[in-house]
Structure 1
Amino acid sequence: MRFKILLFSFICICFSCKKDTISIATVSQPLTSYVNTFIGTGGHGHTYPGATMPFGMMQLSPDTRLEGWDGCSGYHYDDMYIYGFSHTHLSGTGILDYGDILLMPTTSVNFHNGADGKPGYRAPFSHDKEKASPGYYEVHLDSTNIDVALTVTQRAGMHKYAFAKANNQYIILDIEHRDILLDGSINILSDTEISGHRFSESWAKEQKLYYYLKTSHPFKTTPNHPDTPTKLALQFDNPNNEPIYVSVGISAVDEAGAKKNLDTEIGSKTFDQIKQEAKDTWEKQLSKIVIEDSHLDNKTNFYSALYHTMIAPNIYQDIDGRYRGIDQEIHQTTDFDYYTVFSLWDTYRAAHPLYTIIEENRTNDFINTFLAKYDEGGILPMWDLSANYTGCMIGYHGVPVIADAYMKGIRGYDTDKAFEAMLHSATRDHLGLEAYKEFGYIPVEEESESVSKTLEYAYDDWTIAQMAKSKGDMTTYNTFIERAQYYKNTFDPSSKFMRGRVRNTWFSPFDPFEVNFNYTEANAWQYSFYVPQDITGFTKLIGGKKALETQLDELFTAESQTSGRDQADITGLIGQYAHGNEPSHHMAYLYNFINKPHKTQEKVREILTTLYKNEPDGVSGNEDCGQMSAWYVLSSMGFYAVTPGSNQYIIGAPLFDKASIHLENGNIFTVQANNLSDENIYIASAKLNGVSHPYSYITHDDITKGGTLIFEMSAQPSNWATDNAHIPSTEIKESLIVPVPFIAKGDIAFKKQTEIVLGTGEEETTIYYSTSEGDFLKYEGPITITEPTTLYTYSEKEGQKSVTIKTEFYKIDENLSIQLDAEYANAYNAGGNDALIDGIRGTANFRTGTWQGYHDRDVIATVDLGKNQNITSIETHFLEDQGSWIFFPTEVELLVSSDGKNFQSYKSQKIATPTPTDKVAIKTIKGQEKRSNIRYVKLIAKTLGPVPTWHKGHPYEGRSWIFVDEIAIQ
């Protein structure tokens, strides 16, 4: 949807951190008029168009979709029906949460929502009769001819319902709507007041919300269940057919808090007053950055993106300072505002760096919130939601948010306590950290997504090191600057990619396009450039600047297809650069580090102009609570934070003629681009405050001091910022580690013998090995192993040693072989063709790569014992993890044969129809019977096929997996 713009002159007022200080900037029309709240509501953007305030508690928005990945915000632009209007929504996430307390005006009593096509209270609507702007939403319901308008304060909202006729005026109140209702109440206080609560479960397991509702006209009620209603019909006697207004306050604390929030923020205000206050608030908020550009779509994309960076995190504190903590207890403070919805794996990359520029005060509040959650729950949040740790995503990315703020001088919190909490996050023994600390990387068999976790932990650790050094704690600095180099242990010099290490070998067969359990929502292409803390060291590993340039060029020109498992988050592909998912977001800027800034300028312009559009499908992936939009906001102004914590912003190329940032300290920083056009995308020269600026980066201090950065643009690449003295750099020079050696060639499970070749990621490194953990020998050539062996290895360079790695080698009976008559998925190959007879058992975590996975097909495997012999038992194992679409087979049959042609049943077992469970289970199928003259054993395991109707994958026609491991024959 594109808005019609009113043409008039407007004076916008910009916030300062000094509450009595304002700065004035003249713009042609209200900045709110450039916000298209429908951007991202189509495709996979997962945004909502409804009314909310900057970082507000309430998100009052229509609900058009009840389930499915593209219904996560409650609204999708492709939908034709509105089910009602609920008061909480998430912006751009991948999980169905919130949607609390649904109201729906209608002309009859029907407690069914109509989702199954039967008559219900849902109503069709048209986008032609739908409008929205910051803090406001309106729509016409076609089947009932009701006009709906919504507006909000921080913690409350008001509905306006205009019925076509004076009779048959109803409003349905539904507290069952959306996620699983754990407990709820509807308390009728008077003929204009209702209060209650809604406790629910989805991604966050214990969400608690209280509400207080007040109507402008008296009502009569009809409940769906007289004793414990979860739905209520309110009937209004409105002979003059005046608009019906419903005001709703919400709280996570109690019903009294919800009422106080409503009374304080709305009170006796009219709908139009609230709407105007919301508009004025948003105008001031958006005026923190004022751009000048002749392209309407550019302005709309920019201010819509800026708007989306300002609707999360959400205030989670009542007007009196009370809030519900992670410990589910009620706390109170007026020292800072307490927030929830921190999508930190996404937002630490660009959204929080943006906040350090335009939201210094809120940044302090965010960090004080982190520390409160640390006190309440014992750890910094990773992805917290509604007083719940969700445990979602990877890393400990509250850490870089704190470090980045600290290094920029934003310190309105207990810095010692913050540092303590950061260290606490980095020293746990969960999520692969125990192995990471012991080995310097996370082995595949120890933890899923091992490559991504190793890389992200290493960056987080670098930010701890920076803060430690700033505080003068050199002991901690040395520890964590070493850990910041652990990325080196995932680098495979032969392929030039970051790869999983399984039992000290590289996960294989290797396909950099393959999406598998070694990476988080990505493949090797999309994670192998993630070393923002030591780009110089990474460049040396990969073979120098030319080699890195070649690898980056191939990234952007590779085939735009992935293999392996389907990953809906991998979108916005330019080659294998996936802008729709966060691990790629810094990559276009890496050319600056290798003296080729013109390539950064080209790629950034391409991303800005092709992957962001002024239309519902205008975001190339999940909005992710502001991260996708923050990338646009920063990059369109001409710079980006590649390494939060370094205080450097890497220059790309500006999209606008002029952008002025109005800082909370009263200063203004302006970026101006002269001779900018669709062709003139390259920077010919730059001046900062009138002085030549040959550097392809600026610092945080450059921005906060205020001033002007002027670019002269041209149609051809120039030599600007190409000298080594002028390029950005992140480099670890102290406490250098030696990468641990790896097994470059050889089989962990072998038959007669295996030849072991050892390797290391750095040149001029010596490897030592031992088979007895005693005397170590210098490695000078291949090692031949003929028996089960434990091999110990370490590397040494310039007197520095790596940790010692132990590898177990298994010998398979050389007479034993296996034939697989079904194709396993390479991502879950468990070591290849012999995985079911290698003697290595799988654990309960399928992501560690020890199970062989078969998708939507029967498993048929025949073991050849090599000669006829007597057997006494046959045993095999299957995994069930329903949340990952892995189910036990419906039937398992073990057969035996002496000639490989005529098979007899040995053990047959049917497995009960699956019922819902969130528990992971391993089932052993074992037959015990003496049989003579047997040479062949066959396993047939029947697939469940389509997932059950009750499974979350059923709406997508999902197909199940069988995971099998070990056919053990005695």
Structure 2
Amino acid sequence: MKIKFLFFFILVVLLVGCHQQPTISKAQKEKSLTSYVNPFIGTGGHGHTYPGATLPFGMMQLSPDTRLDGWDGCSGYHYSDSEIYGFSHTHLSGTGVSDYGDILLMPTNKVIFNNGADGKEGYKSKFSHEQEVAAPGYYKVFLEDTNINIELTVAERSGIHKYTFPEKEKQVLIVDLEHRDEVLDAKLTVDSNTEISGYRHSKAWATNQQLFFTIQFSKPFTKVTFLKDKKEGKQVKAAFEFDENTGNTIELAVAISPVDVNGAKKNLQQEIAGKTFEQVKKNAQQVWEQQLEKIVVEDASNDNKVNFYTAMYHTMIAPNLYQDVDGRYRGMDLKVHETNDFQYYTVFSLWDTYRATHPLYTLIEQERTNDFINTFLAKYDEGGIMPIWDLAGCYTGCMIGYHAVPVIADAYMKGIRNYDTSKAFEAMKHSAVQDKLGLESYKKYGFIPVEKESESVSKTLEYAYDDWTIARMAKALENEEDYKTYIKRAQNYKNVFDPQSQFMRGRFRNTWFTPFDPYEVNFNYTEANSWQYSFYVPQDISGFIKLLGGKKQLETNLDKLFTANDSTSGRHQVDITGLIGQYAHGNEPSHHMAYLYNFVNKPHKTQERIRQILTEQYTNTPDGISGNEDCGQMSAWYIFSSLGFYPVTPASNQYIIGNPLFKKTTIYLENGKDFTVVAHHLSTENTYIEKVLLNGKLLDRTFIHHQEIIEGGVLEFFMTNTPSEWGTKEGQEPVTSIDEYEIVPAPFIAKGDIAFKGSTKLTLENVDKEATIYYALNEGNFLKYTTPIQVSEKGTLQVYAEKNGNKSATITTDLYKIDPNVTIDLQTTYANQYNAGGKNALIDGVLGANDFRTGTWQGYFDTDLVAVVDLGKEKWLEYIQVNFLEDQRSWIFLPTEIEYLISSDGKTYTTLTKTKLHTTEPRENVSIEKVGYAFKGKTARYVKVIAKKLGNLPEWHLGYKHDGKSWLFVDEIQIR
């Protein structure tokens, strides 16, 4: 009897167990995954993608060029265009700066070298989207003006053009090496009547891009004509004519190399020699199918699957292979190197991609992640530092942070370590100890003062996160000394947090930058305003919550973020798009914010916002991406978020749970295991999570670990139509917290003027209310601060704070006394973002530096400067000087005319001098023009300065095509 009962009990347990852990099948594809990819998504709006043929992470991007320049011409193609200039072999995907577009080929029916951009007859042709096809590894279009059908396909470093001409009509191929960016040097060599080769060295974003090529024709040309008979130089174009009686189809096999022509020929020989167009196309499609199969989704919505697989496609376009088949590549020193130990890449848009794209690669591209890191270390050896944004062997000097660092730390913490880890750690620290880009101040003060470096708030915040990832790796390497150093630096975000406004703000001469408007886009932030950077503390969200005053305050601030007015003030910033309140999904600093509700135990609010973003900001249309695609980051956000989780803090090994979009998804891992995500009861109404099971067990936390995915298994979401209690209890939330080596933030001047008349009272405060503040005037002894400091003379103020024996940095501020009798009447209006300290900025004794972004210049946009200085009484005058900044690349021009006038009564003025300046002459360098006028001496009380704006930018300036207007930057009216 007991045996029967025991058997019955075991059976019940097994049945219950089977019920609790149902067998979940893997997601299966219904048809070819490449059929879901729509390469036209992102080619409209501001997505800046291209529709042409490329392979995953390939060197060649063979695509049509419909636009030669401009913000929305960065990829060379925009969906709103109706004319094609030709087909070039390199393109950037989703970036914000134009480059590439190398080696343009265009079939036509006459010998003509003008591209037609000037409105005159040219080789460009009209086309329509109705006769255009794009798919992974393949592109097709019909040229209406010449009735030529174009097909393109690619291998990794090579590709094939297939042109079908009308029968018995003239067949001409234009090879244009001048197309697109500035040519430094080019050469075209005719090797035979079926083969040409050459090179193109150019300058744009990459200051010295060297590209070599070879082209083989499927039939011999009968005649070649060179523009101006030049085969090399800066204007190399050639027209090749073919016999129309020998067939109406021509195929061109093209290969490129960053090394030399021989490299290009080897690439062609190994990849496509002897293969037909259809063979190369079929292989390209197979390669893409295998890539896309790394994640398989099941869903009833075709548009959702199109958005997903197009996003997968976009994350696999860059970085780009930058190495020939023989292992040679061109390094950051522009010398030729060789390795067969790893594949070498370029196009690392790291400010964007460290957030989600590279974390995605740690799941589905682990071996390639090793190659990426080995590439970073090679670039470190070749160029002296790891890249921030590299392109074709060049440092572009673009964007902020040192974000190769978190890519390495994230991979290392996840066990991806097929590289020299000691060298990697050395290179990480090397990036952090430089003195450029504000780092000198950052290391000294724990933040970057506004007057020392532009974009100071964003740089401080992003450096602090990067430093945390160094600390994480130091801890893993059992290096306590480096851990201590960098975990302290990871807390520097506290130094730019203003406790009164609860925003991250610039510290200008140790005061808060004023007047402050969180909606204002200004030089304190990178492509953003204070709203869009004030939640960026992914490494210490617990510490951030403490600064705010608790979880409820962070929740409130997030609610305000998503419901704020959806317009910005200040500078027009084209990157700020996809606004939901002040959350800007079209730009990367906002990407983690919707997930922060999980950290305050309000996961249902994360679920609401994630579903909103997934369904509203991504559509199956050409403008279906709300901002620049940015080499995969916009798409990586979609991939992670649609799976149901997101890496808010790369290198933490946590993924924060959001809201799954698909009924079933399976990630096929490189270790042979798979991880399946299932959403039960999912519908348009059931958008909230009721409960979650991980491998059949209830998951009582709102995050999962990287290792839980890598080990394989099943994550089940049970969806409902109302918010549930899941994840709302204390302890169920994700946590990032810095609990050791707490720093003492530096005190700031909360009230009072550093440039004053008569006297001022300076009130000091600290973010940490428990810290004791000390101060010293004019390098005297330090005193404990208890009450506001009365200051009546010019001098210096030094401050620091101390707590539990730990001291903050010491901050020194120069104090300026303005002659109390002198006043200024600004009769024209300056831009608030360039106020230089306010209405007295031009008479406060503080001179502007060479960088306009440091806040020491007063800026006037498309406005004359008219200012009257009242000296308080009549004085004997002999000299007047005003300083102006010239930085033409930033649209800052000198005035066309400067007039100095004087008056005794403020009504009747006498002109002393009018000076005309050569404003429109192009100049590369930034300079300060000191416009002084010495005269024999006159008595006057009032001095008027009139500086006439340039207004419309000159025709040679990049901004001219955008109806650009000029800025006047002025500082310090000096009267003696």
| Cα distance between partner residues in 2 of 1:763 and 1:852 | 35
Partner of 2:705: 699
Q: Distance in 1 between matches of 2:655 and 2:926?
A: 45
Match for residue 55 of structure 2 among 48, 53, 56: 53
Out of 478, 481, 484, the residue aligned to residue 484 of structure 2 is 478
Matched, 1:304 2:310: yes
Choose from 442, 466, 469 the match for 1:463.
469
Whether 1:721 and 2:727 are equivalent positions in the alignment is: yes
Indicate conservation of the 8 Å contact 2:646/2:658, yes or no. yes
Paired letter, 1:226: D
Q: Secondary structure at the match of 1:732?
A: coil
Where does structure 1 differ by over 4 angstroms across 4 or more consecutive aligned residues? none
Deviates more, 1:402-411 or 1:909-918: 909-918
Which residue does the alignment assign to 2:836? 830
1:688 equivalenced with 2:688 (yes/no): no
Deviations 1:246-270 (A, max 9, x none): 1100000000000110111001000
**Aligned partners of 1:167 and 1:237 also within 8 Å:** no
Correspondent of 2:86 among 84, 94, 106: 84
**1:454 match:** 460
Partner of 1:712: 718
Aligned to 1:4: none
Matched, 1:27 2:29: yes
CA contact (8 A) 1:444 1:500 kept: yes
Aligned to 1:9: none
Question: 2:551 is matched with which residue: 524, 531, 545?
Answer: 545
Q: Which amino acid aligns with 2:256?
A: I
Task: List runs of 5+ in structure 2 lacking aligned partners.
Answer: 1-24
For 2:226, which of 219, 223, 226 is the aligned residue? Answer: 223
Residue identity opposite 1:319 in structure 2: V
Q: Is the 8 A contact 2:196 2:214 kept in 1?
A: yes
Task: Pick one of 909, 913, 920 that aligns with 1:907.
Answer: 913
| Distance in 1, Cα, partners of 2:95 & 2:594 | 24
2:140 to 115, 138, 141: 138
Provide Cα deviations, 1:529-582, integer angstroms capped at 9, x if missing partner. Answer: 000000000011011111111100000000000000000000000000000000
CA distances 1:487-530 after superposition (whole Å, capped 9, x unpaired):
00000001000000010000000000000000000000000000
Contact in 1 for aligned 2:27/2:298 (Cα 8 Å): no
2:520 aligned with 1:514, yes or no?
A: yes
Report how many residues are paired: 948
Q: Deviation of residue 591 (structure 1)? A: 0.3
For the pair 1:191 / 2:193, whether they are aligned, the reply is yes
Aligned with residue 950 of structure 1, among 956, 960, 970: 956
Q: Deviations over 1:283-330 (max 9, x none)?
A: 000000000000000000000000000000000000010000000111
> Aligned-pair distance for 1:775?
2.6
Please list, as runs of the form range in 1=range in 2, the aligned pairs for 1:151-300 lying within 5 A after superposition.
151-219=153-221, 220-228=223-231, 230-300=236-306
Deviations 1:827-874 (Å, cap 9, x if unpaired)? 000000000000000000000000000000110000000000101111
Distance 1:757 1:110 in 2: 73
Deviates further, 277-286 or 800-809:
800-809
2:399 paired with 1:396:
no
Aligned residue for 1:732?
738
Matched AA of 2:541: I
State yes or no: 1:969 paired with 2:971: no
Alignment of 1:591 with 2:614, yes or no, is no
Opposite residue 433 of structure 1, the aligned amino acid is L
| Counterpart residue number, 1:564 | 570
Corresponding position of 2:102: 100
Q: Do 1:156 and 1:247's aligned partners in 2 also have CA atoms closer than 8 Å?
A: yes
Asked if structure 1 preserves the Cα contact closer than 8 Å seen for 2:27 and 2:297, the reply is: no
Equivalent pair of 1:166/1:240 in contact (CA under 8 Å) = no
Shift of 1:226: 1.0
Counterparts of 1:295-444 in structure 2 under 5 Å? 295-444=301-450
1:792-845 alpha-carbon deviations (Å, 9 max, x no partner): 111122332211111111000000000001000000000000000000000000
Query: Matched residues in 2 for 1:270 and 1:897: separation?
Result: 85
Is the contact between residue 51 and residue 63 of structure 2 (CA under 8 Å) also seen in structure 1?
A: yes
Q: Which residue of 1 aligns with 2:13?
A: none
Percent of residue pairs bearing the same amino acid type: 64
Aligned residue for 2:6?
none
Q: How far off its partner does 1:24 sit?
A: 9.5
> Does the 8 Å CA contact 2:743/2:806 hold for their aligned counterparts?
yes
1:597 counterpart letter in structure 2: P
Q: Does residue 74 of structure 1 match 2:80?
A: no
2:898 is aligned with 1:892: yes
Q: What is the CA distance between 1:167 and its match in structure 2?
A: 2.6
1:8 aligns to what?
Answer: none
Distance 1:225 1:344 in 2: 43
Aligned-partner residue type, residue 28 of structure 1: E
Offset of residue 770 of structure 1: 1.5
Give the equivalent residue in structure 2 for 1:6: none
Per the alignment, residue 542 of structure 2 pairs with 536
The one-letter code matched in structure 2 to 1:518 is: N
Equivalent residue runs for 1:558-637 within 5 Å: 558-637=564-643
Contact 1:103–1:173, Cα closer than 8 Å, also in 2: yes
Give secondary structure in 2 for the equivalent of 1:709: strand
Which letter does structure 1 place at the counterpart of 2:567? Q
Aligned partner of 2:362: which letter? T
How big is each residue's C-alpha offset from its partner over 1:940-968, in whole Å with a ceiling of 9 and x where there is no partner? 00000010111010111000000000000
Mapped contact 1:93–1:624 kept (Cα < 8 A): yes
Q: Which moved more, 1:805-814 or 1:235-244?
A: 235-244
Separation in 2, partners of 1:327, 1:932: 60
Query: Please, which runs of 5 or more residues in structure 1 have no aligned partner?
Result: 1-22
- 1:388-446 Cα deviation digits (max 9, x unpaired): 01110000000000000000000000000000000100001111000000001000010
Counterpart-to-counterpart distance in 2, 1:111 and 1:757: 70
* Shift in Å, 1:117: 1.4
Per-residue displacement from partner, 1:763-810 (whole Å, max 9, x unpaired)? 222211111434322211211111112111111223322111111110
Q: Is the Cα–Cα contact under 8 Å of residues 642 and 661 in structure 2 kept in the other structure?
A: yes
Q: Quote the Cα distance in structure 2 between the aligned partners of 1:808 and 1:523.
A: 28
Which AA in structure 1 matches 2:739?
Answer: K
CA distance in 1, matches of 2:924, 2:320: 30
Whether the 8 Å CA contact 2:28–2:298 is kept in 1: the answer is no
- In the alignment, the residues of structure 1 paired with residue 553 and residue 795 of structure 2 have an alpha-carbon distance, to the nearest angstrom, of 38
3-state secondary structure, aligned to 1:724: coil
SS at match of 1:437: helix
Give the stretch that moved more between structures: 35-44 or 895-904: 895-904
Q: 2:938 aligns with which of 907, 928, 932?
A: 932
CA RMSD after TM alignment: 1.0
* 1:228-259 residue CA offsets vs partner (Å, 9 max, x unmatched): 35111111113143310011000000000001
The residue number in structure 2 matching 1:750 is: 756
Which shifted more, 166-175 or 276-285?
A: 166-175
Distance 2:953 2:653 in 1: 49
- Letter aligned with residue 220 of structure 2: P
Which TM-score applies when normalising by structure 2?
A: 0.96
- CA deviations over 1:879-926 (Å, ceiling 9, x no partner): 010111000000111111111111112232100142222210110110
- AA at the equivalent of 2:43: T
Contact kept in structure 2, 1:907 and 1:926, CA below 8 Å = no
Q: Contact (CA 8 Å) 1:46, 1:91: kept in 2 or not?
A: yes
Measured in 2, the distance between the counterparts of 1:238 and 1:689 equals 66
Corresponding letter in the other structure for 2:499: P
Contact persistence 1:870–1:930 (CA under 8 A) = no
Q: Residue 820 of structure 1: which of 814, 817, 826 is its match?
A: 826
